[in-house]
């Protein structure tokens, strides 16, 4: 998972492309990235009505964050942010 702030702190399109290329060259067949704002996720737990269109990639599928079970929301948030 990538935090949105990384794009503001030097992770540009070229670096991300190089990261993806490195994964491909090592034989990784699937790479799923979430670009999220941790504060927005926490706010979406407290105020789901304010974030109806927040979509995340979880367990190989995309889902609206507000529609996830509370346990799934907390698991998603608790994953280490890169």
Compare 12 and 50 and report the one with higher pLDDT: 50
Sequence ranges of the domains in the chain: 2-78
Section 14-40 average pLDDT = 84
How far is the C-alpha of 78 from the C-alpha of 69, rounded, in Å? 14
Read off the tokens for 78: 């608790």
Section 46-70 average pLDDT = 92
């Amino acid at each position: 998972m990538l935090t949105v702030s990384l794009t503001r702190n030097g992770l540009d399109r070229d670096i991300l492309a190089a990261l993806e290329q490195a994964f491909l060259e090592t034989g990784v067949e699937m790479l799923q990235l979430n670009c999220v704002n941790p504060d927005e996720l926490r706010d979406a737990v407290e105020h789901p009505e304010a974030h109806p269109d927040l979509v995340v990639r979880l367990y190989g599928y995309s889902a609206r964050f507000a529609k996830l079970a509370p346990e799934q929301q907390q698991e998603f948030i608790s994953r280490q942010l890169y």
